[in-house]
Structure 1
Amino acid sequence: MGFVQFAQKRLPQRLQAPMARLAAVLTGADEIARAQRMALTAFVIRVLSAGIAFFSQIVQARLMGDFEYGIFVFVWVLVVLFGNLSCLGFHSTVIRFLPQYHARDEVDAIRGLTVTIRLFAMCFATMLAATGLVLLHFFGGKIETYYILPMFLGLFALPMIALGDVLDGTARANSWPVAALSPTYIIRPVLILLFMVMAVSWGAPHTATTAMQAALAATYFTSIGQFVTVTWRLRRKFPKGPRRIDFRAWVQVAIPIFFIEGFLFLLTNSDVMVVGLYLPPDQVAIYFAAAKTMALVQFVYFAVKAAAGPRFSALMTADDLRPLAAFAGKTVRWCFWPSLAIGLVVLAAGELLLSLFGPNFTAGYPLMAVLFVGALFKALVGPGEVLLTMAGRQKLCVMLYVVALSVNIALNVTLIPHFGLMGAACAAVGALLVEAVLLHVAVLKSLGILLFAFADPLSRLNKIRVA
């Protein structure tokens, strides 16, 4: 690229414009190649993560039994959910702003942004944890006794989960997929399992409380280690200097993202939460095992999403949306075809995989077939919500997820009392179908991009250009 720019300066005036276009093409190709490398790296991490998580869940289920395992997974889902919400959208806001600041060489704004989001997320998570402790103290009598101590321990993990999420976003914004994903998806689950096995081998009871103690220790160890690593890399890339804080601009973007990702996270986990409210822990365990086994498909989507955000943000600065549309189309194809192939393999081995958790867990196999359909609905439109967010359509995305989450909760509350676990699975699929349709329509209407695995994403834009 340096040669192209060097030659461009020494060409006659009439040849400089074509050379500039060539430089732009080469730069775009380089950025797409970087996004592909990041997606591949994220994909490999998610593959390892899926294997580690699956193995660790099997061991935990075997160690605790389905009842205690159901208690642990219900509480841990709540802890991860509220830890993520504690960031108030700043963990994704950094992905929106940092690449743009870097492109404009506004290093002082990068320093201000990266420090502010950490402090804000940790402070808010600490306040939320304190509120939770007060509520447990005064209203704990209305909660099943076997949930109280695991919930108490989980509240102390909230600040570290929030810190880990904003560090994840910071690393993704800098195209550091290993630093972004490996702490949460590889190191933490390995440590949870290791600490759990060590505690049990030293005589600790085989209960959800022991598992939560292991999870709490692993979360602190992982987040502090990630903090040291990401801070060191940031200081190498952006040397010390003044900080510029544009908190108002960041908040204006962060709050809609908070609602978008909050609704999305609730949409992803609401089935487990509602099952936990209506059914006993052993049923929660069966549903969770089936859902997480079929979730082996979803790591493809998360890998592509991790790579797509910074590239979407960079392409938004161009006047011509066709490169953005072309890249968006690629991300959908990167999502759908691997998801279909992996899902069929997982479904074929479903009963065997569930039997590894214990003899009672094979009852969840029919749920896997239903949940697979939902995963394909999601893969058909790829990371559409990331595209809308990076395009500044946060309010539209919020309304979209309000509708999808409302459908999800309504279906769960309606179907679970009558159909049990199958009702929860059908509710999840129905909500994913609504989400996919709404994302497709929203991207088409707002950006003119046809986001669908079997469509040309440029077809609408080309028609507008010809007209």
Structure 2
Amino acid sequence: MAVTDARNAPASTGLAARLKARLAAFGGSGEASLTRRLAGTIFLIRVLSAGLAYLSQILLARWMGGSDYGTYVYVWTWVLLLGSMLDFGIASSAQKIIPDYRTSGEQALLRGFLSGGRWLTLATSSIAALLLAGLIALLSPWIDAGERLPLYIGCLTLPAFVVANTQDGIARSHDWMTLGLMPQFIIRQTLIIGFTAGAFVLGFGLGATAAMAASAAAVWIAMLGQMLVLNRRLGRHIEAGPKQYDLRGWLAISLPILLVESFYLLLSYTDVLVLQQFRSSEEVGIYFAVVKTLALVSFIHYAMSATTAHRFAEYHALGDKARLSAYVAHAIKWTFWPSLAATLVLLALGKPLLFLFGAQFTAGYDIMFIAAIGLVVRSAIGPVERLLNMLGQQRACASAYAAAFAMNLVLCIVLVPRFGGHGAAAATSLSLAFETVLLFRIVKQRLGLHVLAFGKAS
């Protein structure tokens, strides 16, 4: 027995050492370990959110039927697109402005931004929602009757959606990832499922209008709850005192970031919006199911972006280029390899996952392979768009996104009428690959950083 123990000891010790090293990667006290833990938290929230969103989309597709589901997807896509733009970039610039104020000790400006930033986004999004409602009324003769009321409800949803995004940015800037993400991605999805399930069980007709009403109520409730908790936590974290409002300074930082994100969002949603113009609502629903199925890959990129952006700004403000370079390399590696693994798993399980929406949705399985190419290629450079935004290179980043969006729009218009969802997926993947090449060159030339998951800087 003693001999057996002696022989097993080195193997057991080696296994324990390897396990300890792997756990240390997540349990250490260094910046890289903290980043992995925060990114892991975000990713887990987004995965749980994806499960809830997936469940809600499956239920809606089965309860509503193909046509109403396609209309709901179309209107909700507009809410996502406009709601992510109407904060004028404040939600993202919070991750630069807040670290800058903290680093320089400008507490009055920090307090002013934490309250004034949210009031600004609420006011601008409310005005925009009213103008959009007027535009819908003006164009109503040319809008399908089944889309009018859902579009009006979408306008009502926008102010709460925008303020929630802003609060998300503020929370993430303090490393409060759970507070930033849970209301939007968990509570909101849970409420949508609960409201729509209740309507279905009670026998109400669950069409696009009822589904949008449930979504609007969920967005408002989740945002207000997040606001109460965020205000209480900020009250404990930030010392009370006078406030200063640098509206011009905020917009000087935010508007270039808005330009970047606007082109990125247009690039992200062009396929669905163009598909709606040339193909049936049923085909839009199938394509959207494919996009939802592949969403896990995007969540990995999102998790690293959300975790690293304010640290890029902090290290740049401190002038610590070596620390910044190492941190960027770490973020890219932890974006690409998990994204590649997730893509392979989703492609292997794609058909049964699409079947959950309904038998007709499996027709989109081969579209998954086309759409996955662009996501994997984009992940190879990690969250470099956040790096450029945080380091004052917003215009260069915007030019890359603008070029990719223009390419995507042209390709969608050319390919979608003939090839439908396959053409939309091909157009988007080609555009994402083009965008990746442009961003790689911009970072290399302007910042002197190698931002590829493999290979070495020359």
If the length of structure 2 is used for normalisation, what is the TM-score?
A: 0.92
How many Å separate the matches in 2 of 1:114 and 1:455? 41
SS in 1 for 2:453: coil
1:252-331 equivalences in 2 (<5 Å): 252-331=252-331
Q: Which residue of 1 aligns with 2:193?
A: 193
Shift of residue 104, structure 1, vs aligned partner: 2.7
Q: Which residue of 2 aligns with 1:452?
A: 452
SS in 1 for 2:241: coil
SS in 1 for 2:87: coil
Q: Which residue of 1 aligns with 2:50?
A: 50
How many Å separate the matches in 2 of 1:234 and 1:219? 22
1:36-435 equivalences in 2 (<5 Å): 36-435=36-435
**What amino acid maps onto 2:75 in structure 1?**
V
Contact (CA 8 Å) 2:199, 2:206: kept in 1 or not?
no
Contact (CA 8 Å) 1:112, 1:245: kept in 2 or not?
yes
Bigger drift between 96-105 and 142-151 goes to 96-105
How many Å separate the matches in 1 of 2:305 and 2:129? 29
**What amino acid maps onto 1:289 in structure 2?**
A
How many Å separate the matches in 1 of 2:54 and 2:340? 19
Bigger drift between 31-40 and 167-176 goes to 31-40
How many Å separate the matches in 1 of 2:204 and 2:196? 9
How many Å separate the matches in 2 of 1:53 and 1:353? 13
Whether 1:436 aligns to 2:448 is no
**Equivalenced residues, count:** 431
What value does the CA root-mean-square deviation take over the aligned residues? 1.3
Shift of residue 106, structure 1, vs aligned partner: 2.0
How many Å separate the matches in 2 of 1:201 and 1:94? 42
**What amino acid maps onto 1:213 in structure 2?**
A
Contact (CA 8 Å) 1:275, 1:421: kept in 2 or not?
yes
Q: Which residue of 2 aligns with 1:14?
A: none
SS in 2 for 1:110: helix
Q: Which residue of 2 aligns with 1:7?
A: none
How many Å separate the matches in 1 of 2:417 and 2:289? 20
Shift of residue 146, structure 1, vs aligned partner: 1.4
Q: Deviations along 1:376-397, whole A, 9 cap, x unmatched?
A: 0110011110000010111111
**What amino acid maps onto 2:101 in structure 1?**
Y
C-alpha change, 1:385 and 1:177, in structure 2 (3 Å) is same
Shift of residue 36, structure 1, vs aligned partner: 2.4
SS in 2 for 1:157: helix
SS in 2 for 1:317: helix
SS in 1 for 2:244: coil
Contact (CA 8 Å) 1:31, 1:311: kept in 2 or not?
no
Q: Which residue of 2 aligns with 1:21?
A: none
**What amino acid maps onto 2:277 in structure 1?**
L
Q: Which residue of 2 aligns with 1:16?
A: none
Unaligned runs of 5+ in 2: 1-27
Shift of residue 342, structure 1, vs aligned partner: 1.0
Bigger drift between 241-250 and 437-446 goes to 241-250
How many Å separate the matches in 1 of 2:204 and 2:82? 28
If the length of structure 1 is used for normalisation, what is the TM-score?
A: 0.90
SS in 1 for 2:381: coil
How many Å separate the matches in 2 of 1:392 and 1:404? 20
What is the identity percentage for the equivalent residue pairs of Structure 1 and Structure 2?
37
SS in 2 for 1:273: helix
Q: Which residue of 1 aligns with 2:24?
A: none
How many Å separate the matches in 2 of 1:240 and 1:80? 35
SS in 2 for 1:72: helix
**What amino acid maps onto 2:273 in structure 1?**
M
How many Å separate the matches in 1 of 2:106 and 2:203? 55
Contact (CA 8 Å) 2:90, 2:121: kept in 1 or not?
yes
**What amino acid maps onto 1:96 in structure 2?**
K
Shift of residue 29, structure 1, vs aligned partner: 6.9
How many Å separate the matches in 2 of 1:331 and 1:244? 34
Shift of residue 320, structure 1, vs aligned partner: 4.1
Q: Deviations along 1:395-418, whole A, 9 cap, x unmatched?
A: 111111111111111111111112
Q: Deviations along 1:422-444, whole A, 9 cap, x unmatched?
A: 11010010110011111111111
Q: Deviations along 1:61-96, whole A, 9 cap, x unmatched?
A: 111112111111110010121111110101111110
Contact (CA 8 Å) 2:58, 2:356: kept in 1 or not?
yes
How many Å separate the matches in 1 of 2:31 and 2:102? 14
Unaligned runs of 5+ in 1: 1-27, 461-467
